[in-house]
Amino acid sequence: MKKILLLFVFGFGLMAMGVAQDEPEAEKKETPKRKYARATFNATKIINMQSTEIVSKGNLQFLISHHFSNLWNKDATEGENFAQLLGLNSGVANTYLSFDYSITDWANIGWAAAGRSRFEGFAKFRLLRQQTGLKNIPVSISWYSAAHVNAAKNADIIFGWNKWAFMHQLLVARKFSDKFSLQFNPALIHFNVVPYGINNSNMVYSLGFSGKYKMSAKKNLTFEYSRQLNMHKNLIDKNGNIVNYSPDLLSVGLELNTGGHLFQFYVGSTTAASPIDQLARNTSWIKDGEFAFGFTINRTMSLKK
């Protein structure tokens, strides 16, 4: 009887040890893993507006975005419009050329030549990433800030800091499915000097949204719309002329991923290259059918050792 009892105790001890060893493995398997939403957008810009994306740490991105003149000029003759090939051959175009580098996984910095003797320096910070698993976060959030200067000698404002403007943008995006992503992008722009006028302000506000629809593995449809909320009606320049700006910015694009480069071809209601000019001093009117062709090329390279 004693032998049986000792055998029983010994067997029970072995079983207990086995269970104790299995418990951490079971707990480890049950611990949820972080699953981030990836490729909410395929580039750092959707069309004209920034997206929540930044390039990977240690990578340098080169971007060139080219805006042609309007497809059709209602004040020109038909022969002149056809000769200009829908704005492609008008001799008027604005180019945005930028370099940006990601110093960490959550921040990057950059510099741009923004067309018509304008220059910009900018930074973007990733505040939240959409994810499931260990944490459930329904949206991705980034913050974008830019400083803009007009370096032209014949600029209306000739005194140092009066030629500067600043832009801040909150980017809130959600990837609803593998095919569809949507972003909300309110913006604040500060001009050091502004035109005269009723209810004049150095601050210009806008609200907008942008999106992406995945058509195939290498093709996406993109779109964006922004509405300027103030400082676009009945402004007065230094010569006493009344100035009005178009408060609406609408663009639709086709994005093509070739593996090494990302191309985008789009039509939008602006010919300006800088987002500050697009959101606060746009001169193309949707009601007059003033839309223009444009294209963007992205190339990213690693600078890691």
In a domain, 16, yes or no: no
Give me the pLDDT at residue 29, please: 59
Q: Is residue 212 part of a domain?
A: yes
CA 296 to chain centre: 13
Average per-residue pLDDT for the chain = 86
CATH number at residue 297: 2.40.160.40
The yes-or-no verdict on residue 5 having pLDDT over 50 is no
Residue 8 domain-assigned (yes or no) = no
116: its two tokens: 């018509």
Q: Is residue 287 part of a domain?
A: yes
Tokens representing residue 292 in the block: 């223009």
* Position 162 in a domain: yes
Contacts with 16 (C-beta within 8 Å, 6 or more apart), sequence order: none
Distance CA 3, CA 5 (A): 5
Number of domains, the chain: 1
Q: 11 in a domain, yes or no?
A: no
pLDDT in tens, 78-128: 677 778 777 777 777 899 999 999 999 999 999 999 988 899 999 999 999
Residue 250 lies in a domain: yes
Q: Is residue 15 one of the residues assigned to a domain? A: no
The CA dihedral of 166, 123, 143, 248, to the nearest 10 degrees, is 50
Q: In this predicted model, what pLDDT tens digit does every residue of 215-235 receive, in sequence order? A: 999 999 999 999 999 999 988
Task: Identify the residue with better confidence: 83 or 276.
Answer: 276
Full residue range of the structural domain in which residue 182 is found? 60-302
CA 57/CA 220 separation, integer angstroms: 25
